[in-house]
């Protein structure tokens, strides 16, 4: 009986991080649009993509992967801001 209560409490404790990460996922989606547009313009002007933006885009993609895994219960590891930002 105590185990069931503890499991339910731990599920409820997951709610706040999930809400924060869902908002973060929406922000990341908007950031992808901006990043793609800026990268396209940069490549048109300079002839090649911006390396810093490319690295940031790769780390953002890794974060969204980690975020999605946590949100769908495929992982118990919380992504950023509870862990370090992923490095590529």
Residue 38 within any structural domain of the chain: yes
Task: Say how far apart CA 76 and CA 64 lie, in whole Å.
Answer: 15
The pLDDT tens digits of the residues spanning 66-77 come to 999 999 999 999
Residue 35 counted as domain residue: yes
Residue 9 inside a domain? The answer is: no
pLDDT digits (tens, 9 = 90+) for 24-63: 999 999 999 999 999 999 999 999 999 999 999 999 999 9
Expressed as residue numbers, the domain containing 88 is 17-88
Residue 70 near residue 77, CB atoms below 8 Å: yes
3-state secondary structure of 82: coil
Count of structural domains, the chain = 1
Q: Label residue 12 exposed, middle or buried (CB < 10 Å: 0-12, 13-18, 19+).
A: exposed
Is residue 46 one of the residues assigned to a domain? yes
d(CA 53, CA 66): 20
Predicted model pTM: 0.85
In a domain, 7, yes or no: no
Asked whether residue 83 is assigned to any structural domain, the reply reads yes
pLDDT at 7 over 60: yes
């Amino acid at each position: 009986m105590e185990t069931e209560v503890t499991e339910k409490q731990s599920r409820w404790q997951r709610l706040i991080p999930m809400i924060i990460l869902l908002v973060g996922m929406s922000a990341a989606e908007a950031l992808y649009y901006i990043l793609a547009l800026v990268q396209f313009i940069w490549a048109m002007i300079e002839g090649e993509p911006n390396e810093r933006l490319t690295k940031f885009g790769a780390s953002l993609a890794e974060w969204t992967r980690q975020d999605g895994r946590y949100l769908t219960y495929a992982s118990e590891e919380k992504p950023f801001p509870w862990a370090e930002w992923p490095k590529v």
